[in-house]
Amino acid sequence: MSEAFSAFAAQVRQHSPQLAVILGSGMGTLAADWPVLAQLRYVEIPGMVATTVVGHAGMLTLNAVAGVPVLLFQGRFHFYEGHPPQQVERPVRLIAELGVPHLLATNAAGGIAMTLGPGSLMAIRDHLWWKSPADAVQFQSPRPSVYSPRLIGLLHEVAASLELRLHQGVYCAVTGPSYETSAEIRAMRSWGADAVGMSTAHEMETAAKLGIEPAAISLITNAAAGMTGESLDHHEVLHEAARQATNIGRIIAGLATRLAATT
């Protein structure tokens, strides 16, 4: 274990954050809005590597969010980068190792439901896998959603206090890196999906298995393929995510203060 990681871990344990947040595409700039208590590059953390996707800085920071310590992951790992499940879930396992009990994952997603236009926020109540990697698929009996009803309730309370509309729906996880075809989006809608993206599902399932209470919010940055006839572009996704990230930040701050008040 490196000295840098040991020092960072000591800072985290000293401050005892109740919430860890994985910031999705284009949302890493939120970390600059809050005072930094400690920071570390992913490459300095045992078992983690550099991020490769634009909009994912690859930095782990401990920030004072509205005066409350919060662990922020600026970027995540995706299956489409060629990472195995163990790498994709490594940040979540690190959260467990550091003793942080709650996780809020955020992502940029395409809206499938007609009510979810660009800029909409959606609390994820359940997910479905569209193209799971073979080694991540587990055939088993029906099981409940891994998303915490308690945290979803708190997210709605926070959004209401901020006069923000927070939708709730089902997230469809695909492996990427290509966007979906119009036919796939129609099929996903028939399955009950409200939004689609290339992350989050595996992280949430890992968190639940490790005893971390998980929740997730999708920031709708664009209409899904075939919904408007317009082409999709990652740079446009990043631009919309950065433009709308302020509201995500306000929700993170509200959730962090509520969780801190209950400990």
Domain count, the chain: 1
pTM value is 0.90
Residue 56 marked ligand-binding: yes
6 is in an annotated binding site: no
241 a known binding residue? Answer: no
Is 143 annotated in a binding site? The answer is no
pLDDT tier at 82, thresholds 50, 70, 90: confident
**Nearest one of 217, 203, 223, 201 to 249, comparing CA atoms:** 217
For 159, the enclosing helix (H) or strand (E) is helix 149-161
pLDDT at 136: 44
25 is in an annotated binding site: yes
Instruction: Pick the most confident of 1-15, 150-164, 177-191.
Output: 150-164
What type of residue sits at position 249? Answer: G
**CA 84 to chain centroid:** 18
CATH of the domain at 217: 3.40.50.1580
Question: What is the per-residue pLDDT for 141?
Answer: 47
Residues marked as catalytic: 25, 56, 78, 80-81, 108, 198-199, 222, 235
Q: What is the mean pLDDT of the chain?
A: 87
Task: Please tell me whether 107 is known to bind a ligand.
Answer: no
* Residues 57, 58, 59, 64, Cα dihedral to 10°: 60
- pLDDT of residue 132 exceeding 80, the answer is no
77 marked as part of a ligand binding site: yes
Q: Above 90 in pLDDT, residue 25?
A: no
Tally of CA atoms within 13 A in the half-sphere of 54 that contains its CB: 10
Which residues face 41 on adjacent strands? Answer: 59
Residue 72 belongs to what domain range?
A: 3-261
User: What six digits make up the tokens of 87?
Assistant: 């790498």
pLDDT digits (tens, 9 = 90+) for 34-72: 999 999 999 999 988 887 665 557 899 999 999 999 999
What's the start-to-end Cα distance of the chain, in Å?
30
